[in-house]
Chains A and B, each alone.
Chain A
């Protein structure tokens, strides 16, 4: 079992497009992936469930993976959220174009 805590850093948070990106990446792995905020734990491979997290910019999420490729999954998803930021801008200069 692998677990990592990540912070949502793009200004618009985990809206549908990033959530779909997350689900697409998560689905490439065989392990089970669970994502939690302070209230809910959801299936990281379900777009409906991921949309329930309402993860705004600044929200901390726990990503937990269980299975053979768990470590790799957790590393890849952490990079997607914190480093790539879903290819979206951080808050700073306010809204994007």
Chain B
């Protein structure tokens, strides 16, 4: 799978206004909702579900990145959005360090394989030091979009 297959470019948030985890999650889910990807009246329910999932076990994998996610019937296919925070957000990450790049993912309830394929794409790139650095340094939605497009073309980025 490619980023372009599941990341909603128009929902990208180059600088999250929220300073805390739950606020960032709410901002990102709302952006997907505004883009019309979550059906009707599911936004609050999904925000709650993502936060609950995050409380069970942090998706802050270390190295400044977090990948909060949840399954929900409202999603017809996997949808994701990227948000950055230059000051960093406490995600209770594995390495206890703040998170600067968040990729939030909503997956359909009945297609676990699609979810795994999207995660594969996300971590294939998040693992690369160069990709993480470029992502964190991006300042506009356009730059993030270009980076994701470039990563789609170049598996080693």
Q: Give the B-binding residues of A (Cβ under 8 A).
A: 11-17, 20, 47-49, 51-57, 94-95
CB 8 Å contact bits of B23-67 with A (1 = contact, 0 = none): 000000000000000000000000000000000010101110001
Min Cβ gap B114→A in Å is: 9
Return the chain A residue nearest B120 by Cβ.
A54
Total interface residues on B, CB under 8 Å, equals: 22
Bound complex: CA of A75 vs CA of B110, how far in Å? 32
Report whether over half of chain A's contact residues are helix, strand or loop; otherwise say mixed.
loop
Interface centre among A51, A55, A95 (most CB of B within 10 A): A51
Q: Which of A15, A17, A47 contacts B116 (CB 8 A)?
A: A15
Bound complex: CA of A53 vs CA of B123, how far in Å? 9
Bound complex: CA of A56 vs CA of B113, how far in Å? 6
B62 contacts which chain A residues (CB < 8 A)? 48
Known interface pairs A48-B61, A94-B110; A14-B116 also in contact (CB < 8 Å): yes
Q: Give the A-binding residues of B (Cβ under 8 A).
A: 57, 59, 61-63, 67, 69, 94, 109-110, 112-113, 115-117, 119-120, 122-124, 126-127
Known interface pairs A47-B61, A48-B127, A52-B124; A16-B119 also in contact (CB < 8 Å): yes
Q: Are A56 and B116 in contact (CB under 8 A)?
A: yes
Bound complex: CA of A17 vs CA of B69, how far in Å? 11
Q: Are B112 and A49 in contact (CB under 8 A)?
A: no
Bound complex: CA of A56 vs CA of B57, how far in Å? 21
B123 contacts which chain A residues (CB < 8 A)? 48-49, 51-52
B127 contacts which chain A residues (CB < 8 A)? 48-49, 52
